[in-house]
Homo-oligomer: A and B are copies of this chain.
Amino acid sequence: MGKSEYSVTNTAPQTKPQPSLDSLVNLVDADMKRVNQVIIDNMHSEVALIPQLASHLVAAGGKRMRPMLTLASARLCGYGDGPDAVDLAACVEFIHTATLLHDDVVDESQLRRGQASANALFGNEASVLVGDFLFARAFVVMVKTGSLRVLDILAQASAVIAEGEVLQLATANDMGTSEEAYLEVISAKTAALFGAASQIGAVIAKRSAEEEEALRLYGIYLGTAFQLIDDVLDYSAHQATLGKTVGDDFRDGKVTLPVIISFAKGDDDEKAFWRRCMEDQNFEDGDLDRAQTLIRKHDALTASMDRARDYGQMAIDTLTRFDDGPIKDSMIEAVEFCISRPY
């Protein structure tokens, strides 16, 4: 049975066009060009290795979801053409890039898989230090906007992200990880920055505390749905489409929702299989195939995606208090895209 049968894209309803990020991308396109310029200006350093390594990441691209959330939220809240939305969107991307660099600091065994991650190309130390540099520069740029409230929100979010990453270390290789603990990890490591990115759009537009909170929750729920799907894709995606290796979480022993569900529904033999792979990290040929078979047997990807859809709907519901229009529409479609995305 081929991997295509796991593909998330196939499960989307065929009656309406596949949701995409295009309308959001188009709406914030001009601002995102300014964000890129702020990013380039602020990753400059006399120390050549810093812009070299940083531009390796910037060139690698990515969806740029987080800075787009800041720009879209600011616009939804009626923020005008001031520089703060663009500068803060760049700060959010810097914080995200710094966490990516620090995530990539892995041990030798993981390096041997031959990923061309920044640490593989430049070494662990450089990845750590350039991450620190980008993180510090994010705060330098934030200070320029002069908003202590924004600084507080992004500093708090940065601390929560680090907590989430440490919690993920603590739950890795532990088949006793509960669904609740898993949700706590992704809420901290991923959703917190989505939430802060959205919230600060309302802050700079000087909107009410209720609107700030609504946009914070929009980001939190969207980020949770985003990470749930990310974890589904690790077992379901076409490797070429995903742009990273399928099965990374499995080999790293990350206990994600598809695994938690399959383990809970599995018999003793299946439980022993999961423990051998996830806890003992003792792998045999064909283990990833077997993991995928068990996950399908227990409908664990479907269950994870249902959970993602619930969070997606909650994200969309937070937007009811805001005026209808193309920005709100694009933020709703962004949620639908995150749930149905094949990459």
Contacts and interface: CB of A to CB of B under 8 A. Distances in A.
Interface stretch (A59-67, A99-107, A285-293): A99-107
Contacts of A170: 47-49
A132 interface: yes
A126 interface: yes
Contacts of A209: none
A169 interface: yes
A46 B188 CA distance: 12
A81 interface: no
**Chain multiplicity (copies):** 2
Contacts of A169: 49, 123, 125-126, 129
A343 interface: no
Interface residues of A, number: 45
A76 B204 CA distance: 38
Interface in A31-67: 45-50
Interface stretch (A136-144, A220-228, A306-314, A327-335): A136-144
A102 B132 CA distance: 9
Nearest to A150: B143
A142 B143 CA distance: 12
Contacts of A152: 140, 143
Contacts of A151: 139, 143, 151
29 contacts: A45-B163, A45-B166, A46-B163, A47-B166, A49-B166, A49-B169, A98-B132, A105-B105, A107-B124, A123-B169, A124-B124, A125-B165, A125-B169, A128-B128, A129-B169, A132-B135, A132-B161, A132-B162, A133-B159, A133-B163, A135-B135, A136-B156, A136-B161, A136-B162, A137-B159, A139-B155, A140-B152, A140-B155, A143-B155
Given A102-B129, A126-B166, 4 more contacts: A99-B132, A105-B125, A133-B162, A143-B151
